[in-house]
Amino acid sequence: MKISQFTSLLPYGNEFFLHNGFTDNYLIVLPLLKDLFIAGKSEGIDNLQEVHPKFYEALVEGGYIVENESNEVEQVKEVSRLVDLNESIYRLTINPTMNCNFKCWYCYETHVKGSRMSNDIIERTNSFITQTAKSPALKDFSLSWFGGEPLLYFEDIVLPIMKHFNEVCAANGINGGISFTTNAYLVTESMAKLLKENKTQHMQVTLDGAEQDHDLVRYVNASKGSYKQILRNIKTMLQEGIRITMRINYTLSKIERCLDIIDDINDITEAQRDLLLIDFHRVWQDKGEDIEDMTHYVINKFQSAGLPVRSNLSMNNLRDSCYADKKNSCTINYNGDIFKCTARDFTTVKREGYISELGEIVWENDSLNKRLSAKFNNKPCLECRILPLCNGGCSQHAVDNLGKGDYCVNGFDEKQKDKIIIGKFEEALILNEKRRLLEESQKTVLLPSS
């Protein structure tokens, strides 16, 4: 046996834990067992079978040690192929416009005033939806709205395509799901009802920190911000039973004040909290000082308030890879240009194809095959202990770095990799505690009365 390439031993408080990135298992170990494991690295892990057979058995069961002949990188590649080439799922993203009602300073998109999907492109898109839904292998079809601000043309473009999508999915016995990435400022009570009636399952809504910071970025005019309105709209959608991911974009100067958001949403019910996820992301242009400790502090405060939180330290990029990594995915821009990644500027010169008059996707310059084969060409990734978590970033990272030499999306920083593993470990601890509390509550309910 050998120690798995994907096994890490890390301190946590006064204890230590083992983690395997491929199995995503954790094992808390006492200092003595930690010393035995370290000794096994240099003296041969098989010796541990005689010294401490129970510990050895736990290491085998958790995947922390594997057969000498195991090709672990090939196992990762196989999982990647199963996930990314899965033809039972299709992920379609539509940009009905590249116009927006706000101008956030950090936005990477080029907003095109007056841009909107024409009737011709709407017909081509509907034709594509109809053809895709007829695939014998397809079981799940997801439709995501992006932009620009997609709700700018809700009644003229979005709603008709949504209705067509739902009709086609129902006619073909396919599970259809609809989601939005939106600033949610334009949501009304009647729109929220229409969203729910037309099977909208999820909305991602961004806040730029607490009210005073958010309103400096997203304002209607010099005297009117948007924070309060957006929060009201989030609560309206939660009342309709729509899941919300509240993405909080923060910078060094904003992160601590984000705690004020807790008080602003403490009136949502327990049932609505089950529909809410808080997702912290540092604005990518905000470089420099390491603020992970403060971010960790703020996240813990949200969790202590009973709010579910995810951060960008939480990774599962192999089994839950980016939509753009998948063969069955595309983004249709308002003008018919086709893209894979949405975290890019939607200019025609960067497009990867177009939608034809027949509603078929035409990939240009062999762009689809180039993307699908771009992964696992970077030597540092193939030797990395967190490859099953990071997956080398995404296919866009791989495409952008083709022919440019070795790279690492974590900057070759082993401490950053440790933070990713510890972040996942803490999420597991919180989840286990929730399960324990749930089991205790169920036991209480089942106790016979005296």
What letters, b where the CB count within 10 A reaches 16 and e where it falls short, cover 152-188?
A: bbbeebbeebbebbbebbeebebebbbbbbbbbbbbe
Instruction: Identify whether residues 207 and 351 lie together within a single domain.
Output: yes
**What average pLDDT score do residues 420-435 get?**
79
422 pLDDT higher than 60: yes
- Domain-located, residue 194: yes
Phi and psi torsions of 247, nearest 5°:
-85, 120
Instruction: Identify whether residues 52 and 113 lie together within a single domain.
Output: no
**Chosen domain end from 328, 362, 396:** 362
Q: Which residue has the higher pLDDT, 12 or 111?
A: 12
- Domain-located, residue 370: no
Phi and psi torsions of 256, nearest 5°:
-70, -35
- Domain-located, residue 393: no
Instruction: Identify whether residues 99 and 62 lie together within a single domain.
Output: no
Instruction: Identify whether residues 53 and 114 lie together within a single domain.
Output: no
Write down the pLDDT at residue 423: 83
How far apart are the C-alpha atoms of 43 and 2, rounded to whole Å?
A: 11
Amino acid at site 309: V
Instruction: Identify whether residues 227 and 293 lie together within a single domain.
Output: yes
- Domain-located, residue 401: no
pLDDT in tens, 84-105: 999 999 999 999 999 987 777 5
Residue written as token pair 């009136």: 267
Write down the pLDDT at residue 275: 96
Domain count, the chain: 2
Q: 8 lies in which domain range?
A: 2-70+413-445
Instruction: Identify whether residues 44 and 105 lie together within a single domain.
Output: no
Give the domain CATH number at 148.
Answer: 3.20.20.70
Write down the pLDDT at residue 449: 38
- Domain-located, residue 142: yes
Instruction: Identify whether residues 65 and 101 lie together within a single domain.
Output: no
Instruction: Identify whether residues 108 and 242 lie together within a single domain.
Output: yes
Report how far Cα 294 is from the mean position of its chain's Cα atoms. 22
- Domain-located, residue 316: yes
The model's pTM is 0.90
Write down the pLDDT at residue 311: 64
How far apart are the C-alpha atoms of 5 and 442, rounded to whole Å?
A: 40
288 pLDDT higher than 80: no
Instruction: Identify whether residues 335 and 278 lie together within a single domain.
Output: yes
How far apart are the C-alpha atoms of 262 and 258, rounded to whole Å?
A: 8
Write down the pLDDT at residue 357: 97
**Chosen domain end from 327, 362, 397:** 362
Distances (CA, A) of 381 to 9, 317, 390, 414: 19, 13, 9, 13
Instruction: Identify whether residues 207 and 344 lie together within a single domain.
Output: yes
pLDDT in tens, 306-352: 898 876 556 789 999 999 999 999 999 999 999 999 987 899 999 99
